[in-house]
Structure 1
Amino acid sequence: MQKTNGACVQAAYCPCGTGQEFQNCCGPVLAGTAEPATAEDLMRSRYSAFVLGDDAYLAASWHSTTRPADASAPTGIQWRRLRIRDTVGGGPDDATGEVEFIAHFRTADGSRDFLHERSRFARENGRWVYVDGELF
C-alpha cells in the first residue's frame, strides 16, 4: 500500500480506471514528481485526487481565474468509477482541451448517482489546469 496525503492506495490499480498501478499512473502526478501530459491525464489525476481527498492537488490543478475559495473534495461521497466519453484537443502540444466524463459515486446513505460533465482545460504557466465544466 502507498500513502498519499493520508489516504492509503493499493498498488494494484489506480482509481482513475486506466488499469495501471497507481505508482505508474496518477501517483507521481499527485506526489508532484510528474506533470500530466494531456488534458485527459489531468482529468484522470483530478478524479484520483477526489477519490483520495487530496484537496491540495485539486486546488493546485484548478485555473487561477476560476478556482473557488474552497476547492476541496465533497465529503460523504464514495467515488466508484470514472468513464471518459470524449476528448477534444488537449494533447501534448495543445493549449486547450475538453474532456467529457461520467464519474459514478455512492452517497453516505448508500444511494448511487453520477456526475456527467464536459470539462474545459487550458495551460497555465505551461501546465494543464482545470478551467470549468458544463454539467449534463
Structure 2
Amino acid sequence: MARSKRSPLLLAGVLATAGVAHFVAPRQFDAIVPRVVPGSPRAWTYASGAVELALAAGLALPRTRRATARAATAFFVGVFPANVQMAVDWRHRPAPLRNAAYARLPLQVPLVLWARSVARDGRSGTSGS
C-alpha cells in the first residue's frame, strides 16, 4: 500500500523536475522539437514544461490523480516524436552522445506504463480524502 501511494508522488517528482528543466535550460529542449511542428521551438519548450508542471501538481493530489495520470500517459506518448528527432539529429555524433539519444527511445515505454499504472491505481489514492 505504501508503494502505491509513493509511486504517484515519485512520478510527480520526475515530471516536476523535467518541467523546471524546460525553463532553466530551454535550449536543449528547443533543439529536439520536431521541425514539422509549427511555431517557435521555444514556445513548445515552455508549453511542454508548463504541462509537465501541471501534471506533477495533478498527480500530487489524490482527488485529481487518476485523470491526471491518464493525461500523463497521453503526454508521454505525445512527446515521443521529440525523442525520435533527437535520435535522428544525433546519429552522427560521438558514440556516447548517439547512444544516449538512442537510449531515450525505449525509456519512454516505462514512463507510459508507469502513468497507466497510476491511473489504474488512482482510486486507492483517493480513500480518506
Shared fold (TM-score, shorter chain, > 0.5): no
Higher-RCO chain (CA-CA 8 Å, sequence separation at least 6): 2
Structure exhibiting the larger radius of gyration computed from Cα positions? 2
TM-score under structure 2 length normalisation: 0.31
TM-score (norm 1): 0.30
